Structures are given as C-alpha cells and as structure tokens.
Structure 1
Amino acid sequence: MGLRRPAARRPALPGTDPGEEAAGASRIGNWALGLWLVLLTAVVVLLDALTGTDPPLIPLLVVVPALASVFCTVRQTIGVACWVTLVGVGSRIASTGSFWDVFFLSGFTVVACALGVVACAARIRHAREMARLRSAAVALQRQILRPLPVVTRQLRAQGIYEPIEEDRFVGGDIYEVVQSPHGTRVIIGDVQGKGLPAIGAGFAALGAFREAAFREGDLTAVADALEDAVVRHNAFSAEQGEAERFVTALLLGFDGSDEARVVNCGHLLPRLLYDGTAAKVPLRVISVPLGMADLGGEARAAESFGFPLGASLVVFTDGVTEARDATGAFYPFDEQLGRWAREEPRELLRALQADLEEFSGGVRRDDVAVLVLTRRPEGCGGLTRLPGTAVADGTA
C-alpha cells in the first residue's frame, strides 16, 4: 500500500506568519455560513408569523452577529450583520407599529450588529498577537533543545520530551547530543523545579555543555565546566532575588568502542537494553548534583561500562519513574521496559509514551524526558539531519 500524499497547503503570503493567518482564519465556509443564516432567518420569520407574538421574534436575530464574531472572519461577520440589519429593519418598516417603535428597534438592531463586528475584529487582533508571541517563543525554545532524533558517528539518539506545561516546548528537563573530536557526548538532566522558572538554570547547563563537550577531552572536565556554569547562574539569580537551583545530570561519552564513559551527577541510573533484556547499569560512583559541589567534598569521577554493538541505552528523568496512577502507586518502569526490550527504539518510545499516559490518566506531575541511544557501526557519517529535525552536518 502506497503512502498517501498530504494535501497541498496554500502558501503564506510574503511577510505573513502562518500562525497569524490561522488565528484570523474562519472556522466555517462562506457557503455553509450563508445556508445556515438563510435557514435560521426563515425559521424565525415563520415562527414570528405563526405565533403573532408581541414583541415580535425577528429582533432576536441580533444575537447572530455576536455568535458569528466567535467563529467567523471580520468580512463574514460584516456580511451576517448586514443581513440581520436588512431583515430586522425591513420587518419593522413593514409592520404597523408607530414611528418611534420602528426607529428604536431598528436602531437597536444596527447597534447590536455593529458591536458584533467590533467584537470579531478585537478577537482576531488578539489572536494574531498571541500567535505572533507564540511563534517567537517557539523559535527561542527550539534554540534551547535540539529536535530529535539526532544521528552522530557513534550513535543514534531518539526520544520523547513532554513538559508539564503543555503549551510550552521546554520545561525543567534538559538533554543534548554533541559530536566532538573526542566522540559523541550526551547529557540528560533535571533542573530543580518545574516549568519556566527552571529554564534559566537548564539553559546555563546546556550552554556550558555544548562548549565543554567539544573542548574538553576528559568527561570529568566537562562536568566541572557545567558545575561552574550552574554556580555562576545561581549567583546571578541570588542577586535578582530568585531561588538558587541544582541540576541532576548524567554525562555520557561514546568513542565507538564497546565501552561508554559516564559521570553521574546525582541522576537516575541508565538502563541497558541488550539481547532482549533490560538491566540497570551498575554505576559505582554517584556524585552530588551540579551546583552543589561545595557540599560534596570529593571530586567527580568518570567510570566505564559495557556498551556492545547492537545495544541501546535508555536514559530518562524522574518524570517517568515518579508518575503515579489514581491510587498513588508509582509507574513500574523497569517491569514495563523489560517487556519492550526487543522492540525497535521508535516502537519502544511509542509504547512507553502511551503506557505512561494510560497509567497516569493523563495527569502530569513533572516533565518527562527519555532518550534511547543506539550504537552505530563504525564508518558511518557524522551528525546529520533526519526528517523533522533541524540538524545538519555530514551524512548518515
């Protein structure tokens, strides 16, 4: 069965933003709007003629422009208002009432219809402003976290990322994959706190990682650079009267061999998927989170663990393990991961995402970040752009 080609999309006009166009678009077509308007008018006129009530029912049509202002464009709302005005004023002129009855009811109809048009224009202006702001926010937030998947010479990184605030793309969890002269460097971390207040510390750690991962040959030196960055950010935050934050993080290094290097800064242990099984990586050295080195008293150390060809490494934040159901029970992550150990990374992530949603009943208590890192055979290309990503450098 062939793939269905997506319908052609009308190109945006030069100088316009697609989000702004969508904000001002109608939710109902002109023909459908005209048909419903004629039918509604016919029903009201017929009921007015059959009941002969006083006051008449036709002036009630003034609510139609108000309804149209919620769903239609300004042009459509003006058309509805003109139609209602013609019907309302025409019916009053044809009536046998006094001049002042006709004058006041006609004036009321005109004013009500005009207010509907004004309300529609205000709604669309506000929607376009919000669309413009959201478009700028999305562009900025996409500079903080790289879209997934990412492919480097040593591995392929796929993942899911779900901030607790659904209307934003970045929360308190961070990740990054960097191709460096020393191999592929990966970080996944969890900033103390949630949502927008945690982004500052996360961005400080990410910026330091992107530079140090390329510059430093030793993974512990990368961790030290991140520590300094978080401490500096906390000092600046304290001057501004904001809370200081720490960051739990897992720093990983892959050079294409059967071993990976890791520095654990108070983060959750990764899981290794190999030969149909899922197991915790038994790390022996776990240091304090970033930003708290002065409390630890010991220098951070790196250690190695086996990462054979064909294996995948699952790294994640506590938004997964601390998800709860309606009874308060924690999500059985290791048990479920073992069920999907033989699945391809993409299918595993889909199953995990769906299972988390069902288990928690759609109630999020923390940001969720999961990366599945899969080894690639030697001789493959470097950092590349995959469908749906914005990464480009080399070939797959």
Structure 2
Amino acid sequence: MARSRRMRPSAATGAIEPPGTIELVVTVVLVTALVNVLGFLSGSVVWLLGLLIFLPGAAAALCTVRQTRFVALWTLVVVTLAVLVGGDVTSDWDDRVLMVALTLVLGGASVYACDRRIQREREMLSLRSTATTMQRHILRPLPLITDDVLVDGAYEPVQEDRLVGGDIYDVVASPFGTRVLIGDVQGKGLAAVGAAFAVIGAFREAAFREPTLTALVDALDAAVVRHNSYARRTGDDERFVTALILGVDAHPQVQAVNCGHVPPLLLHDGTVAEPPLDSGVPLGLGELATEPTTVGWFTFPAGATLLLTTDGLTETRAPDGTFYPLREELAEHAGTPPTELPNLLREDAHAFAGTGRRHDDIAVLTVRRSPHR
C-alpha cells in the first residue's frame, strides 16, 4: 500500500497513524487497477494473485482493524473472481479452491495481527501516561523559580518511548540558599533510571538538611553507594553519576562542587567563560577520591547566565566525527534570551549530528539571578 504523509509515528504513543477511510479506499482501488493492468499486459492473472494476496498484511501494519477487515474482504472477492474467470491459472478446481482458501487464511491472520498491534499500542499509551505522571514527580517541569534564581531548560531522553532517562536536574530552595543539581547517570536502561531516582530523592532531602555543599555531596554519594549495594544483590549493574551542584544566594559569589561533570559556562556581556572549578570523582566513587571534596567559588553577576549541560550535548558528533562546538554556538547566539537558549541548542545539536545519530540523553539548563535580588 502507498505510504501517505498521515501514516507517521504518533507523538503520543509512537504508533502509526492510520490513513483516512477515503484515502484507504482510493489506494486499494488504484493498486487493484494497477495489478489488473499488469495481468492484462502479461496475459496472466498470476500477477494479480501474487501481488494482491499479501495486501491485507500491509494493511495490518498501517491500518485499524476495521480497515484491515475491509482490505481482507476486498482481496478475497477480487482473488475469487480472478480464479473463477482466469482459466489460464490452472484447470484443476482443487488448486483454485486452495488459492481462495489461502487468501482467506492470510486475510484472517492479517486482521488478527492488526488487532494485536493495536492492543500493544494501547498498552504503550497507558504506560506513557503513567510515565508522564511519574515525570511530574521526579523531574519537575521547567522553568523552576526560587527567590534566588530563574531556571529554564530543555530535557530530552535518547529513548523516545521513555520520558525519563539517565540525565537528571533539580532545584531546591533551602534555608541555606538555592541548590541546583544537574547530573548524568552512567549507562542507560531501567537500572540507570533507578540510580537517577535515588540521586534526586537524596538531593531533595539533603538540600534542606545539610548547611554546606560538601555535606550535601557526601549525602548524594552515599545514596548512590546504597543504590549500588542493592543493585549488586539483585544482579543489576552498578552505576556512578557525574554531577554539578551549585549554591546560589544573595551574595555575588556562587558555590559549586563538580563531581566529574561537564563544567558550567558563564555568559555575560556577549562573552563565554568557564569558571575555574576543580573536578572531583563522580558520585558513587567517593571511596576512590585521593582528596576531600572541595567547594569552588566564582562571581555570578546580575544579568549573567550560567549554562549547565550534560555530555549528551557536548559529545554530540557530526557525521565526520567532529564534536558539537558549544562555545562557538554560544558566541554566535549571544543575543538569544535565556528562556529560548536551551531549546535552540538542543535543536542545533540535532541538526549538527544529522538524522538518527543521537546516542545520549540531553539536558540543558540556563540559570539566572532572580530580578528581586
């Protein structure tokens, strides 16, 4: 069957959107007419039987059950008439009956396969609805606003059938100022998502409890260690998590701890600069650290924007293997509002990589000081 513009993956379920009834009827009639012409020119209706008998199978992959049933019935009628009229196929009536029976069986199997496909699509819709609810409680919708900061961003998991991937972010207004987290769980799959949940849960609790960023990071590291201990007992892979944690309050200086993560970039007055921060070990590997966790300080002036991202953006590659030139793109789009910058970078990275070359989740955040400060 001809593939139309309407038969494309649905944004909500990943399912194929079926063609309209009129479109389906026109397509089936045109295909039948074309096959009849080929049969007439060849002098044999074998063309007709050979091309039409599998038409219901194509409908099963693209259409509704009702539409597939129509195509199966249409095919049965056309093939039956061809067998009865086309004496050049065979003079044996047993073979003719067998051909009609085969058409009937394939049509019935196609209707059954279509029904099963639609059931799976409905199950997927239900799962994605549940995932949407989970996402609202795990990764809070952007933008996020506190008394200290305005945070906008873009988040996109690499697997489109999952709304939550291994990249994480959160913002907590604590008694000690606003704490901002962005992180990236090593690996992919449900085990990586489980580690992401563990870090976010620990961050939301410890951000209120711990007065220092070093204590907060120790709590996050302990959460990943506990998660890995459980993973070992259940036979899952252990994970580590790269993370960047910021502490922002009314003071011009920002506190930051980098746990093996992509460093932040400071955008101010058309310039792009990387604050001087030491990079420690990822969360979950604290026992391997040779030095204690240290807090870095840098100036975050009013009107400036901090860009936080995961390596899904910085390690995006073009078809020739070159990495996405993030700093150059930021300089080129220096006038872009912070509310629009994350989505602009995400879309630009897609264009840079080309179709079908994504290999990792993407999270991009812009952090600005609240105008009330």
Look up the match of 2:145: 151
Residues 171-205 of structure 1: CA deviation (Å, up to 9, x unaligned):
33221112233332101122333454422322211
SS in structure 2 of the partner of residue 346 of structure 1:
coil
Give the distance between the partners of 1:54 and 1:320, measured in 2 at CA: 57
Instruction: Give the TM-score of the pair, scaled to structure 1.
Output: 0.77
Give the distance between the partners of 1:137 and 1:230, measured in 2 at CA: 23
Give the distance between the partners of 1:60 and 1:207, measured in 2 at CA: 58
Number of residues paired by the alignment? 359
SS in structure 2 of the partner of residue 345 of structure 1:
coil
User: Mean alpha-carbon deviation: is it higher for 68-77 or for 344-353?
Assistant: 344-353
SS in structure 2 of the partner of residue 342 of structure 1:
coil
Matching residue within 335, 349, 360 for 2:328: 335
Give the distance between the partners of 1:48 and 1:361, measured in 2 at CA: 43
Look up the match of 1:309: 302
Look up the match of 2:64: 73
Q: 5+ unaligned residues in a row in structure 2: which ranges? A: 1-10
Residues 59-101 of structure 1: CA deviation (Å, up to 9, x unaligned):
8533332222222211112222223333333455567767546
Look up the match of 1:183: 177
Query: Is 1:124 the equivalent of 2:118?
Result: yes
Q: 5+ unaligned residues in a row in structure 1: which ranges? A: 1-17, 380-396
Look up the match of 1:233: 227
Matching residue within 190, 206, 209 for 1:215: 209
Q: Is the 8 A contact 1:184 1:255 kept in 2?
A: yes
Give the distance between the partners of 1:244 and 1:61, measured in 2 at CA: 53
Look up the match of 1:203: 197
Give the distance between the partners of 1:54 and 1:244, measured in 2 at CA: 62
Query: Is 1:88 the equivalent of 2:79?
Result: yes
Q: Is the 8 A contact 2:191 2:237 kept in 1?
A: no
Q: Residues 92 and 336 (structure 1 numbering): CA distance in 2 closer, same or farther, change over 3 Å?
A: closer
Give the distance between the partners of 1:31 and 1:268, measured in 2 at CA: 53
Matching residue within 28, 36, 39 for 2:27: 36
SS in structure 2 of the partner of residue 126 of structure 1:
helix
Instruction: Give the TM-score of the pair, scaled to structure 2.
Output: 0.81
Query: Is 1:352 the equivalent of 2:369?
Result: no
Look up the match of 1:282: 276
Look up the match of 1:384: none
Give the distance between the partners of 1:325 and 1:245, measured in 2 at CA: 28
Look up the match of 2:4: none
Displacement of 1:50: 6.8
Q: Residues 126 and 260 (structure 1 numbering): CA distance in 2 closer, same or farther, change over 3 Å?
A: same
Query: Is 1:27 the equivalent of 2:18?
Result: yes
Give the distance between the partners of 2:257 and 2:285, measured in 1 at CA: 15
Q: Residues 199 and 116 (structure 1 numbering): CA distance in 2 closer, same or farther, change over 3 Å?
A: closer
Give the distance between the partners of 1:319 and 1:233, measured in 2 at CA: 24
Q: Residues 211 and 45 (structure 1 numbering): CA distance in 2 closer, same or farther, change over 3 Å?
A: same
Look up the match of 1:387: none
Counterpart amino acid of residue 209 in structure 1: F
Q: Residues 138 and 247 (structure 1 numbering): CA distance in 2 closer, same or farther, change over 3 Å?
A: same
Give the distance between the partners of 2:315 and 2:52, measured in 1 at CA: 55
SS in structure 1 of the partner of residue 153 of structure 2:
strand
Counterpart amino acid of residue 288 in structure 2: L
Give the distance between the partners of 1:271 and 1:212, measured in 2 at CA: 26
Q: What's the % identity of the aligned pairs?
A: 48
RMSD: 3.2
Residues 189-235 of structure 1: CA deviation (Å, up to 9, x unaligned):
22333454422322211110011112333333322221221222222
Give the distance between the partners of 1:272 and 1:95, measured in 2 at CA: 78
Give the distance between the partners of 1:44 and 1:223, measured in 2 at CA: 69
Query: Is 1:378 the equivalent of 2:366?
Result: no
Give the distance between the partners of 1:102 and 1:265, measured in 2 at CA: 73
Look up the match of 2:3: none
Look up the match of 2:44: 53
Give the distance between the partners of 2:268 and 2:245, measured in 1 at CA: 21
Counterpart amino acid of residue 363 in structure 2: A
Give the distance between the partners of 1:322 and 1:59, measured in 2 at CA: 50
Give the distance between the partners of 1:149 and 1:164, measured in 2 at CA: 21
